Amino acid sequence: MLLARIKEALSSLYEDIQEIQEAPEAAEAAEEVETAAADAAPAEDAQPEESPAEQKESDSEEASEEAEEPPAPPGPRETDYKTKGYHLDAALPPEKVVAAAEILSQQGFFIEAITGVDWIDEQQLEVVYDFNHFDELCRVVIRSRLDRNEPEIPTISHIYQGANWHERETHDFFGIIFTGHPNLEPLLLPEDADFHPLLKDFKA
């Protein structure tokens, strides 16, 4: 029940994405690899220049051929709980994450964790939000891909205060900047830390 409800609510976030997304997808239809990067890419459409995005895609081409990521469907994807451990997987562009968090908050979800994944081969960073519900088992994963060189994503710490620390932790480990975060200082790392240990190119 809850799953269907939240899926529907989250789908509404994808409405305008599909419209924008279709254009680049059609243009590059020949290319078989269209990773979840495409989700993040339209986010940059607002920016005047397209070149970094293009460059990034060409970069990731060779790399992602090995990676063979399945194409991300436009909309929240239901997953098999038994094998995966979560029910709903929604890849969203960064600016939609706040809206998604608001929807989840309205539905009474609580935040389990926020973390990052460094997809160095694709020059991307992924932010993963885990949400769960107290009353009914429904784990929702929101993920958003960011450009690895300019990892910025709006904070959700005003909706989920608990996200404050998780975001700080993710900032510590990956250098992802949560814009609007009240206090984005190192939490687990030393105060003067200028390194991000969980990046794949970090060598101690």
Partner 1 sequence: MNGLLQQDLNQETFTINLGPQHPATHGVLRVKLVMDGEYIVEAEPVLGYIHRMHEKMGENRTWAKFLPNCGRMDYLCALSYNHGYVAAIERAAGIEVPERAEYIRVITVELNRISSHLLWFGAFVLDLGGFTPLLYAFDDREQILDLLESVTGSRLTYCYFRFGGVYNDIDDSFITGTREFIKRLRERLPMYDALVTKNIILIKRLKDIGPISKDMARRYGATGPVARGSGINFDVRKHEPYSVYSEFDFDIPVYEEGDSMARYMVRMKEMEQSMRIIEQALDKLPEGDIQPKKAVKMVKPEKGDYYHAVEAARGSFGVRLVSNGTNTAYRLKLRSPTYSNLSLFGEATKGMLLPDALALMGSLDLVIPEIDR
Q: By the criterion CB under 8 A, which residues form the site for partner 1?
A: 82-86, 105, 108-113, 115, 117-118, 128, 130, 132, 134-135, 137, 139, 141, 159-162, 164-166, 169, 173, 186-190, 197-198
Smallest distance from partner 1 to CB 115, Å: 4
Judged by beta carbon, residue 49 or residue 66, the one nearer partner 1 is 66
Residue 188 CA: distances (Å) to CA of 143, 161, 171, 192: 23, 18, 10, 11
Write down the least CB distance from residue 184 to partner 1, Å: 14
Nearer to partner 1, 22 or 78 (CB): 78
Q: State which residue, 28 or 112, has the beta carbon closest to partner 1.
A: 112
Name the minimum Å distance from CB 26 to partner 1. 28
Q: How far is the CB of 39 from partner 1 (least distance, A)?
A: 16
Cα separation of 29 and 78, whole Å?
A: 25
| Closer of 20 and 198 to partner 1 (Cβ) | 198
Q: Which is nearest to 94 in space by CA: 158, 21, 178, 160? A: 178
Question: Which of 104, 99, 167 is closest to 133 using CA atoms?
Answer: 104
Residues 6+ apart with CB under 8 A from 13: 90, 92, 96, 99, 100, 103
